Chains A and B, each alone.
Chain A
Amino acid sequence: MKLFGIKIPMMASLIMWAIIWEVVGRLELSILLPPFSNIVMRLFEIVPTATFFSAFWITAKCFIIGTGIAILIGIPMGVLMGRSIVFDRMMLPWVNMFLSAPLTALVPVLMTLFGFGTKTIILTTVLFAVWIIVLDARAGVKNITPSLVEMTKSFQANFWQAFTKVYVWAALPEILAGIRLGAIRSVKGVIIGQLLVSVVGFGRLFELYSSNFLMEHMWALLFVLFFFAFLIAEGLGVLERKFEYYAASRN
């Protein structure tokens, strides 16, 4: 971007917002908005602590396990739905319903069933991520060139071969898009799960900070989470672009 003939670097707007924040913070208008520099200092203070590290570890563990389960369930289910009309008719209404449902409302139910631990958080993560992965894998399989399906049939692939050697690969661009969107939802799931359970991980930290009005800590923690969510989405986006030539060369 160019402004008055001077080239402006990409992240310049962030710096501008940080300055505004700093000024507003220094005016001490609200306890909710401490100066930006204080938050940054607090960030470096809490990140190296053992409490933060254990919370981060639990979150990472729940995120990885939850997303992994969502992928392992979502892809085969989506591929099956894309290939079988009967299965599709059976599952599609449920998938669409869960995709748009306010899943947060289900977390208390999960808590009564699975307790106040990581199990509930992992399940919440799965519930948030799995549906979009299913729908994208299904769309990918439905988009496979008909002749590629006929090729698979004419060389007499059995069900397993067709699934693992052709369909999953042919649908890979959509499947990867689904995994990226699923992972973004996973981040929401893992945080919402922790906030509602609120006795483990970042949920406990948020509970601790907010009940003690430690706004600098709270913001520092939020920055860390936003940063990681952004990193995950961007990282998967890069991976997805690597496979983009697939989609272009399919037709």
Chain B
Amino acid sequence: MEEVVMAGLQNAEGAPVPLRAVAIHVVGRGPACRVTVAQKYRHEEPRPVEAVYTFPLPEEAAVCGFQVELDGRVLTGRVEDRDKCVEIYDQALSQGHGAFLVDQDRPNVFTAYVGNLRSGEEVVLRLSYTALLNWLPDGLELIIPTVVSPRYFPPEQLRDIDPAELFHLTPPAVLGPLPYGFTLTLDLELPGRLAGVECPSHPLRWELTDGRMKGALTGEARMDQDFVLKVTLDQSREPFCLAAREADGATVLLVGLNPEVPHSAAKKPLEVIFLVDCSGSMAGESAAQARNALELGLRALRQGDTFNIVAFGDYWQGLFEEPQLFHQATLEKASGFVQTLDGHMGGTEILAPLKAVLHRSVSSRPRKVILLTDGEVANEAEIISLAQEHRSHCALYPVGLGRGPNAHLIRTLARVSGGAAAFVHPQARLEPVMVALMEKVTRPALNPVEIRWDGLTPDLQAPALLPPLHHGEHLLVLARFSGKAPRKVKLKAGNSRVWELEPTVLENGEDQTLPLLLAREALREREDRLLACRWRWQPDSRVVKELKREIVELSTRYGLLSSLTSFLVVDERAEAPAEAAVLRRIPVALTRGWGGMEQGLLFRWHRTIPGMPSLPSARFEDLEAHFLCLKTPVSTPPARHRFYMRLEPDPEEQDFRRLIREQAAGGWWSLTPWLAQQVGMEMAELEEAAGKLPFFRTTTRRVAATLAALYLLKTRFLNREEEWRLSAAKAEAWLESKNLILPPPSPDFQAWLEQALATGVWVGQ
């Protein structure tokens, strides 16, 4: 049956696609997870081929294992110098041997070369990695990418990029059927009681046994969007310190902290810049997400803050020339501007607008940039290096939108600038994520964060410099001690908070997870620095050479893949090949929702592909060939349609959104017939009830409306507190300035209103 389905599936040149299936298995234990990705290739053409497959892994993955299963044998790969690997690989292929090579092109993009697949041969490539789980205040988030989205190459980069790198980063993308999909199974150990499971991206079947959550995708899924899982637990994680031993006797410690950052009494006014990606790849659902996120973000600002919105694509345009004070008039203007934004501005030139924002003279207000993007660019290094240069006066808060955002760019920008990152899958709820992010923006982070290792100095620590600690962010520090290990660890954050922790030695103390994670973090810091250096100094400078040496040393010592090393397996064969292997690139699925492609495909057919710069097409080399495959008929299996479009929001949802949207910049609401109706009253009745207050009529009406709105939030929408708490805090602050204090909610609105108004009348008199 399988054979019949696959017979018609061919790549752009009309040859069958040798990749047949991908299986992902996730095991979560303690603070980390171990993931195995198995790619099965089967070759059916008469002549030998060399398959080249570009695929994503999470950017935090420490890729520590590579095995090849061939004719019932298992061959284990080794990490070696990247250039040396390709030479050995090339020689092996020319001699007719089997050779298998894996490169890291970006921390989250990898390419596998499967050489000399003979007719009828079946090979399984098994890559394994370990990564720290992403703990949130109320649970954990697991994101597993499945697709490398088409990305934008700035013209100057296209001119200078190494052709092989371009070749790796631009796998041919198809909308039509593919002969392979992925299956996923998971087994997560949960440290608390399970309160909820949300998997917005895929249908997932799961069960709970002995405190472990075991789950699997219901069937094989197309590899066209990230797998996103959020597990909510009923208890927050306590600070912890774990210890493991390396084979040579050294101790590796992992310290984790997730503190509540208190509201600071004196809030400094901020300068908040919203930088919105309006490039072609954002068209459709990602742009809609960005508009909603902006509406929410704007409403979290306070009077006294200044703000601006900058939209970018091939060019950029700001709402205002200079950041303006946030008040009702500017909010309304901004709201109107937001509604005009879409994926209509062509390429993704992030660098120019970011430079313009960062190079502006520094004001007394802390500057915060909220970047809404899918991050589909290839010049990550330049952008990261720019953010790094300005880290002292500007923190970046990137939000990854769409179904396959570039997590490497988004996380690294937050990390190097001392900000925080967030991701929102189009099927997931945007509001709680944006509220949590805006809290991080508006609440000052604990800074500086210091760690003391019982008077000892680690020989390796990652991160080397601890980032400011934001509310709701998890701080993880890894360190290695070759001699004596510390017996207690002291952490200090800001001026007041101190934690003292004693290391708990892991039961499986010889487990290599912690050393691997430390090596990966240390490698990543060096890779980030190397990328930043290349733009500023000569490639042969001493700093670059030293960084390269450190990367290769760490990578080979721990057997971890890096940007300067590759995994290689050679299977020597006795017989010489009759003919040379032909190249077969594995086509990948176009990221679902990319550039609004599904909806707009027929209209865009003969026009420029959105997201591509408006340059002569001749510049595009591979990108051209890349989209040839789109000419296959578009057909998506019907079963997947239900994940396609977001359902129209239900009336309850619409009411909630309207209520949040109608709040004014100052925190109050205006009295409208709709609002009065929501609390079962007439406008005139409400106004009359508040008539006794010692204010002018406009203020009286605002007080009545604000009380009604707060009542609605705290009763009807109580279960969405995480989405409205910023709005309510602003409203309560405004009411307090009018000497009104809210009583506890009661079931009868009118009685509650009278009680609330009485506090104001009493104080007012």
Determine if chain A interacts with chain B.
Answer: no
What residues make up the interface of B, taking CB atoms closer than 8 Å to A?
Answer: none
